[in-house]
Amino acid sequence: MADLPPQKRMDVPGLPRFALYFLGIVFFIWSCNGANLSLPDLIEGIPNMGRVLGEMSPPDFSRISFVSKSMLVTFQMALVGTVFGVFFSFFLAILATRSQTPSPILYYMARFVISFCRSVPDLVWAIFFVASVGLGTFAGTLTIMVDTIGFCGRFFAEAMEEVDDGPQEALSTMGAGRMSIIQSAVVPSAMPSFVNSSLFALEKAVRSSVVLGLVGAGGIGIELKVAMDLFQYQQAGTIILSIFVLVLCVEQLSSAIRRKIM
Amino acid sequence: MTPSVLLSDPEKRIEAEAAGAVEAAPELQLRIRGLRKSYPGRGLVLDGIELDVFKGEAVALIGSNGCGKSTLLRCSLRLIEPDEAETSFLGHEVQNLRRSALRKLRAKVGFVFQKHNLVLRSSVLTNVIHGSFARMPGFQVWSQATAPKHIREEAMYCLQRVGLAHLAASRADRLSGGESQRVALARALMQRPQFLMADEPVASLDPRVGDEVMDLLLGLTRQEDLTLLYVSHNLDHALKFADRIVGIQKGQVRLNAPANTLSTSALRELYGASDDG
């Protein structure tokens, strides 16, 4: 036993590490204060939550056809934004893949674009596009597209990076060009990951397209905001229920596609 | 002077030809001189390799692990850039070729890999169709769905040659190891190659299937009047399926003789000393 080498993980942490842990805990407590965490407010708010939920039921289905139409537009916005986003992500991801990019400069530029699209929150993009192209679903579609580029661009590039290079070497030996190698060896191998990421992007887009309406970027969100602002909780209940059904349907559909393709 | 010795010794061949002792010399298809290649951390792997391969020959390349056999194959087509080499391959000075000319040369050489290197999620037919990349506009042969009829028919013919036409619609990841390697061979045939290279083509196969694949490889080489240069660790295969055996040790050619003059024990000597490089 005495000959066993000392295990690093069993070392007693030194003073600097203790200080670091302590500072981390202090910062978290400070953050709780900054976040205005308040247990009394939460307890006091529980009856209000119950009251709002009570007022939402039974949901008012008198405007269900209008709500359904808005839900359809919301879904269309999410679908179109995702499809265009996936399309542009594919080409950006090729540039952002170390093994496929034609030049290091393009690699860093593509990486930067993808990171930028991802790090700016979708609500900020929505505000930007509403200011640029006006209120409505077009601004929402652009927002979802950019958000999808940030999401899919990264995962597509990672998927292409991880593809086995054997078939690529084989095609290169046969005289295939760069695009042919990507299309015939890289894309088929990375396809499960592409499909998976795209379906997650669609689910994400459907959820975020609901919220985008709050800043005027089209979709059902604005209806929800108006209903809540006017205390029409039963109508709000219908909208929330519809959102739940839509998100659930999209998730089920994408799971089914995933099972079929993977 | 026996033909087999002539085959393995180009200088003697030239002398004999001058003396009118032999018929017109077989075409020299691959000529490598002074091939040197080093890797960071491994040092010099190939140290001045000299090798000639003539049209119609089947040459087995043997040597212990890490002695540079696979590197030699790849350097001859500049799939790996050599540090130094003068290589003439099918009439091209390989070291002087630009990218597009290099692609054209590679297209004339069918390369069969140890791990088969098929695109696993594509169909068998699509994989074979890929063999026509160099002579067709790329997008037309990305998959069987886009390939013209004559290319699909040619690919089916190549599959028929390796006995796998019935698996054309199967996905490549559903094949056994032997079937996979046969498809790789069909893909190489689809290139309409003048020269076949194979890097340990049966290393991942069981002995029976390995024999079948080697039989097929050599059979097709003979039928199509091709030249074959392959790497093998199987000494029995080297003796059975090659006209000439070239042994590499410590980065240099230590053996170059007709297969019918060699025995397994003679070949084993090559593996006696370990290779540092």
Q: Is residue B97 part of a domain?
A: no
Position B172 scores a pLDDT of 93
A169/B113 Cβ within 8 A:
yes
Query: Along the 277 residues of chain B, how does pLDDT read in single tens digits?
Result: 333 444 445 455 546 555 555 556 678 999 999 999 998 888 888 998 999 999 999 999 998 888 888 999 999 999 899 999 999 999 999 999 998 888 889 989 999 888 889 999 899 999 999 998 878 777 788 888 888 999 999 999 999 888 889 999 999 999 998 899 899 989 999 999 999 999 988 887 888 888 888 988 898 899 888 999 999 888 888 898 999 999 998 888 988 999 888 888 888 887 774 444 3
* Integer CA distances (angstroms), B224 to A250, B161, B199, B218, in order: 56, 11, 20, 10
CA A98 to chain centre: 24
Closest chain B C-alpha to A146 CA, distance in angstroms? 29
A185-196 pLDDT tens trace? 999 999 989 999
Cα distance between residue A143 and residue A148, in whole Å: 9
Task: Give the CATH number for residue B250.
Answer: 3.40.50.300
Please enumerate residues of A whose Cβ is less than 8 A from a Cβ of B. 166-167, 169-177, 179-180, 183-185, 188-189, 191-192
Cα distance between residue B249 and residue B261, in whole Å: 19
> Which residue of B lies nearest to A174 if distances are taken between CA atoms?
B107
Which residues of chain B neighbour A171 with C-beta distances below 8 Å? 130, 133
A39-94 pLDDT tens trace? 888 898 898 888 888 888 888 888 888 888 888 998 999 999 999 999 999 999 99
Cα distance between residue B188 and residue B197, in whole Å: 9
B230-261 pLDDT tens trace? 998 888 888 989 999 999 988 889 889 998 88
Q: Is residue B87 part of a domain?
A: no
Closest chain A C-alpha to B236 CA, distance in angstroms? 27
- Give the count of domains, chain B: 1
**Parallel, antiparallel, or unpaired for β B227-231 and B195-199?**
parallel
Which among B99, B119, B183 is the top mutation candidate for probing chain A, defined by the most A β-carbons within 10 Å of its own β-carbon? Answer: B119
- Where do we find the tokens 């087999």? B4
All structural domains of chain A: 64-261 (1.10.3720.10)
Q: How many CA atoms lie within 13 A of B57 on its CB side?
A: 31
Q: What is the domain extent for residue B147?
A: 57-80+107-271
Position B273 scores a pLDDT of 47
Which residues of chain B neighbour A188 with C-beta distances below 8 Å? 119-122
> Which residue of A lies nearest to B111 if distances are taken between CA atoms?
A173
The structure tokens listed for B263 are 């025995």
Question: How many residues in total does chain B contain?
Answer: 277
> pLDDT confidence of A8, banded at 50, 70, 90?
low
A230 phi and psi, to 5 degrees? -90, 10
Q: Which residue, among A96, A83, A209, has the nearest Cα to A148 in the 3D structure?
A: A83
